[in-house]
Amino acid sequence: MQNWNHAVTVFSQTPLLDTIRTPDDLRRLKVEQVRQVADELRQETIDAVSVTGGHFGAGLGVVELTTAIHYVFDTPRDRLIWDVGHQAYPHKILTGRRDRIRTLRTGGGLSGFTKRSESDYDPFGAAHSSTSISAGLGMAVARDLSGGKNNVIAVIGDGAMSAGMAYEAMNNAGAMNSRLIVILNDNDMSIAPPVGAMSAYLSRLYSGKTYRTLREAAKQINKRLPKVFANRANRVEEYSRGFMMDGGTLFEELGFYYVGPIDGHNLDHLLPVLKNVRDMETGPILVHVVTQKGKGYPPAEASADKYHAVVKFDIATGTQAKAKPNAPAYQNVFGQSLVKEAEKDDRIVGITAAMPSGTGIDIFNKAFPDRTFDVGIAEQHAVTFAAGLATEGYKPFCAIYSTFLQRGYDQVVHDVAIQSLPVRFAIDRAGLVGADGATHAGSFDNAYLGCLPNMVIMAASDEAELVHMVATQVAINDRPSALRYPRGEGRGVEMPEVGIPLEIGKGRIIRQGSKIALLSLGTRLAECEKAADELAAHGLSTTVADARFMKPLDVELVMKLARDHEILITIEEGSVGGFGSHVLQTLTDNGALDNGALRVRAMILPDVFLDHDTPAAMYARAGLDAKSIVKKVFEALGRDFKTETVKLA
Start-to-end C-alpha separation, the chain: 58
Q: Is 367 exposed, middle or buried (0-12, 13-18, 19+ CB in 10 A)?
A: middle
> In which element (H, E) is residue 367 found?
helix 361-367
What is the SS3 assignment for 360?
Answer: coil
Q: How many whole angstroms separate alpha carbon 237 and alpha carbon 256?
A: 15
Strands 152-157 and 79-82, bridge-based pairing: parallel
Helices then strands, counting H and E runs in the chain, come out as: 27, 19
Q: How many whole angstroms separate alpha carbon 528 and alpha carbon 399?
A: 28
Q: Is 649 exposed, middle or buried (0-12, 13-18, 19+ CB in 10 A)?
A: exposed
Closest CA to 455 of 433, 442, 435, 473: 473
Count of alpha carbons within 13 angstroms of residue 599, beta-carbon side: 11
Q: How many whole angstroms separate alpha carbon 298 and alpha carbon 120?
A: 34
Q: How many whole angstroms separate alpha carbon 561 and alpha carbon 515?
A: 10
Q: How many whole angstroms separate alpha carbon 115 and alpha carbon 81?
A: 11
Strands 257-263 and 372-374, bridge-based pairing: unpaired
Q: How many whole angstroms separate alpha carbon 232 and alpha carbon 19?
A: 55
Amino acid at 230: A
Q: How many whole angstroms separate alpha carbon 153 and alpha carbon 234?
A: 29
Q: Which residues are catalytic?
A: 293, 379, 407
Q: How many whole angstroms separate alpha carbon 412 and alpha carbon 450?
A: 12
Q: How many whole angstroms separate alpha carbon 587 and alpha carbon 563?
A: 11
Query: Where are the extended beta strands (E) located within 78-162?
Result: 79-82, 152-157
> In which element (H, E) is residue 392 found?
none
- If you compute the radius of gyration of the chain from its CA atoms, what whole number of angstroms results? 29
What is the SS3 assignment for 397?
Answer: strand
Q: How many whole angstroms separate alpha carbon 180 and alpha carbon 60?
A: 25
Q: Dump the DSSP string for 225-292.
A: S-HHHHHHHHHHHHHHHHHHHSTHHHHHHTTPEEEEEEETT-HHHHHHHHHHHHT-SS--EEEEEE--
Amino acid at 417: A
Closest CA to 49 of 358, 437, 318: 318
Contact 405, 445 (CB under 8 A): yes
Q: Which residues pair with 185 in a beta bridge?
A: 157, 289
| Helices assigned H by DSSP within 80-178 | 89-92, 132-146, 164-176
Task: Say how far residue 609 (Cα) sits from the centre of its chain.
Answer: 15
